[in-house]
Amino acid sequence: MAFADVREYTHLTDEEVEAIGRELDEIRAEVEADRGQADRDYVTRVITLQRRLAAAGRITLFASFFPPAWLLGTALLGSAKILENMEIGHNTMHGQWDWMNDPEIHSSNWEWDTTQPAEQWKHSHNYIHHQFTNVLGHDNDIGYGILRMSRDQKWTPYNLGQPIYNFFLAAFFEWGVALHDLDIEAIRKGKKDPALLKKQLKQIGQKVGKQGFKDYLMYPLLTGPAFFSTLSANFTANIIRNFWSYMIIFCGHFPDGAVHFTEEELEDETRAEWYLRQMLGSANFEGGKLLHVMSGQLGFQIEHHLFPDLPSNRYAQIAVKVKDLCKRYDIPYTTGPLHKQYGQTLRTIMKLSLPNRRTSDNPAPLSPRKRRRLDDAERPVRRTELGKWSGTASV
């Protein structure tokens, strides 16, 4: 069920909640003061590795008519795209590296290797998702407007097809993300400003054009006789990246234990309560160093949601402190191996394709909830730690 108040869920006193907020502020301040050469070295190393992988993949695919070369080239290119989207693009656009004052690695001008324009991502993700994390009717990441992911979301017969939609969402995740900031729900309800829609579509069209031209025309043409095998390799690399990023992102907020909230939670929410909502609404997964790098450190989703703009390479060490804090205050800290977390997510997708009465865990009656969605201007002032959002996509 969804909660109208984080305290109601955690049974903490006001003083305890504020004390937690102070501790988390301290963790942030410590990391901020300690950022330096080692952090820069980390990100530049990852960027160099990613560019080498991409170049190696593209070059290998000149021989893509030869199956082992196809396989190797696809794997290289796929992993380059994953690294770029997850550990580099997503984190840079959050402003995690802005402190370096380096225009070549900065949230204001980073553009990533996927079909969604960075501009729109910074709005739909940095702003909408990170500010309104797991608040029903606000956070469009709860099922991406396609899947029913909470028992508090209304069931319709459309949801019977969830297992199929889920498969297609995973395979073409890049496209789901590309259209994400359009806010399909608002379009369906006729609430979307047509001028803004037109502007966003144009922006998406330009980005898609460049991406498609590169992967599906230029490189295949360049490889000459290997045209079709390069085309299929590039397509496959994109699909691999789609499945992977879909799985990592779905493990962030949908495993059992991550809870949803209703609109009431947002009213008079303090900074400390915002922290609490981020912890309760997110889920981590466990794994080795390589897994964490390839998932952009989103296995530390809880830490990422607490401190979206701190360098990703610091999340592992922050996690030790956050875990300890959760233990002391008896706050749930959701984590588990990747397969278990994804298994739970998949189970929820299947289960919620049916009406609530057909499945176990019938919810308590819903707290009364405002039906109308507020628009950006009516919403609370955005938190600065969420990372940059230029806002030009909304004019």
Site residues (CB under 8 A) for other proteins? 35-41, 48, 51-52, 55, 58, 95, 98-104, 106-108, 111-113, 210-211, 213-214, 218-219, 222, 309, 376-377, 381-382, 384, 388-392, 394-395
Q: What's the min distance (Å) between Cβ of 382 and other proteins?
A: 8
Q: What's the min distance (Å) between Cβ of 109 and other proteins?
A: 9
Q: What's the min distance (Å) between Cβ of 54 and other proteins?
A: 8
Q: Which is nearer to other proteins, 60 or 394 (CB)?
A: 394
Q: Which is nearer to other proteins, 165 or 219 (CB)?
A: 219
The set of residues, in sequence order, having a beta carbon less than 8 Å from that of 32 and lying 6+ positions away, is: 99, 310
Pairwise CA distance, residues 132 & 98, whole Å: 23
Torsion sign (Cα): 251, 257, 262, 265: negative
Q: Which is nearer to other proteins, 55 or 201 (CB)?
A: 55
Q: What's the min distance (Å) between Cβ of 39 and other proteins?
A: 6
Q: Which is nearer to other proteins, 57 or 299 (CB)?
A: 57
Q: What's the min distance (Å) between Cβ of 321 and other proteins?
A: 22
Work out the burial of residue 127: count CB atoms within 10 Å of its CB; fewer than 13 is exposed, 13-18 middle, 19 or more buried. Answer: buried
What tokens appear for 173 in the block? 């995740």
Pairwise CA distance, residues 233 & 77, whole Å: 9
Q: What's the min distance (Å) between Cβ of 95 and other proteins?
A: 5
CA dihedral 328, 329, 330, 334 (to 10 degrees): -90
Q: Which is nearer to other proteins, 99 or 243 (CB)?
A: 99
Which residues make beta-bridge pairs with 261? 3, 135
Q: What's the min distance (Å) between Cβ of 113 and other proteins?
A: 6
Residue whose entry in the numeric block shows the structure tokens 């706050």 = 331
Pairwise CA distance, residues 281 & 275, whole Å: 10
Q: Which is nearer to other proteins, 108 or 362 (CB)?
A: 108
Q: Output the 3-class SS for 271-336.
A: HHHHHHHHHHHCCCCECCHHHHHHCCCHHHHHHHHHCCCCCHHHHHHHHHHHHHHHHHHCCCCCCC
What tokens appear for 78 in the block? 């796929």
Which residues make beta-bridge pairs with 286? 337
Q: What's the min distance (Å) between Cβ of 189 and other proteins?
A: 22
> Residue 262: how many CA atoms within 13 Å on its side-chain side?
19
Q: What is the CA radius of gyration of the chain?
A: 21
Q: Which is nearer to other proteins, 302 or 306 (CB)?
A: 306
Q: Could you tell me if 233 and 73 are in contact, meaning their C-beta atoms sit under 8 angstroms apart?
A: yes
